[in-house]
Amino acid sequence: MASSLTKASASTPGSEKTFFGHPRGLATLFMTEMWERFSYYGMRALLVYYIVSGGADAATGSQGGGLAMDAAMATAIYSVYVSMVYLMAMPGGWFGDRVWGARKTVAIAGFVIMGGHVALAVPGQAMFFVGLALVAAGSGLLKANISTMVGHLYDGPEDPRRDGGFTLFYIGINLGAFVAPFVIGTVGKEHNWHFGFALAAVGMGLGLLQFLIGTRHLSPKSNEVPNPLSPEERRAVVTKVVGALVVAAVFYGGVVALGMYTLNWALVPLTLAGLIIPVAVLVRIKRDKDLSAGEQSKMNGYIWFFVAAAIFWMIYDQGGSTLSLFADDKTAGSVLGIDFSATWYQSLNPLYVMALAPVFAWLWLWLARKNQEPNTIVKFAMGLVLVGASFFVFVVPMGMAGDGTKVSPMWLVSIYMIQTIGELCLSPVGLSVTTKMAPQKYASQMMGVWFLAVTAGDCTTGLLSLAGVDLNGTGIIAMQASLAVAAGLAVFMYRKKVQAMMGEVH
């Protein structure tokens, strides 16, 4: 599959093939991530609909056979699940740095993810949560390490192709995400939930096959373990993990025995962990005495990007929960007489990314040649303001649908476009700046730290849902929009201070 997307370099006759001018290994990682994202976003497009299906909050005429929970619980489960996917990126990076190396970690992750989707294809609430846990764990192992391997393909942070390489990689993510709602979403929501989940397992299987075939094109660095555990450290880790599992088993066994267990006993601790762990990780890295003064300064600057990203993802990731439920229940399900599944809205964002990412890549290069390209800080501020603006727009159709009116699909089409433009200002640049600012000691783990910003944002949404806040109300939507815009303006106002902390990184 990868070879069909490669071409010979124009610079030297007979030279090694490249992937649109980038190292050929990028084709392997591009295709692996494309299929993994196909499986992930296809399943995610079904998630809230499956949870509410058969219950009072399901749209009229929707398929039965789901978990029959209410919308608030569906949003909480969805938010906690997505946050755990990104939380697990931190131990995923740790495994890449200290146990298996990035390449082996990604291969193992592929098998775990595929097993999770197979579990989801088996009916029953117990298998549903087992499947979510496996997909979350596997995705965490894969995410931090596959992004790090993209960085390995280039000659250091100053390689001029680096940002473009991450943008191409981002297109691979979105190609899989674009197709998935049409295939997995339609089959699962309109015909059979578990057939849809099974298709997600097939997608991950194809991604794993692509990776195993194409590993010879990857950098040798991806096979190294940068900071392997000593035998003493390994024993200490095993002891701590086993001890934690025993404590958890005893505690929850007692809760079940007393007849007190509800789903909140699992969701609330996970949500709180998703807020506490990111802070703890940043503090631990900051306090590491092995970091040089320059690395310490960069970490101070990185905290600004982290907080900005957390606020951004808090709003953005509601595209699969709050916006999805609105799409199914309060938005017209046809255009020009053609009916379509509400899952298709999930294809809008990746479609926009594929259409606009090359434009943005060209735009940044064109502005750079004129010495007018906005720096990373300004791009982050732009992303925050735009995602806030999208929720200000969302307030309008929410008000229109208050009397039961089905609003035009164009409202959601517009909201997803605004969010995508904000994403292109923030997300690819965030991946790149993380690799540039990462202390050498925490190379792979810093990619996990970047994903922890998503964890913090989604856990905030989950905690609000569990606390009984109606995320479908115009007041809370407007409040979130105001927070994002205010944060964007604050980042812009303090841009010179942040740039000074970043040192030579721009």
Q: Domain spans of the chain?
A: 19-228+262-502
- At 494 the pLDDT is 86
Residue 439's pLDDT is: 84
Compute the distance between CA of residue 474 and CA of residue 148 in angstroms, rounded to an integer.
Answer: 40
pLDDT for res 221: 85
Residue 14: its pLDDT value, please? 42
Looking at residue 132, its amino acid is: L
pLDDT of residue 288: 84
| H-run or E-run covering 17 | strand 17-19
**Whole-number pLDDT of residue 354:** 85
CA dihedral 28, 29, 33, 36 (to 10 degrees): 60
Closest CA to 203 of 427, 45, 87: 45
Q: Which two tokens stand for residue 155?
A: 């000659």
pLDDT under 50 in the chain at which residues? 1-15
The distance of Cα 183 from the centroid of its chain, to the nearest Å, equals 20
Structure confidence at residue 183 (pLDDT): 95
What is the pTM for the complete model shown?
0.87
Please give the pLDDT value at position 444: 61
Confidence (pLDDT) at 2: 35
Domain 19-228+262-502 class, CATH top level:
mainly alpha
Per-residue model confidence (pLDDT) at position 462? 92
pLDDT given at position 479: 94
Type of residue at 13: P
Check: CB of residue 96 under 8 Å from CB of residue 478.
Answer: no
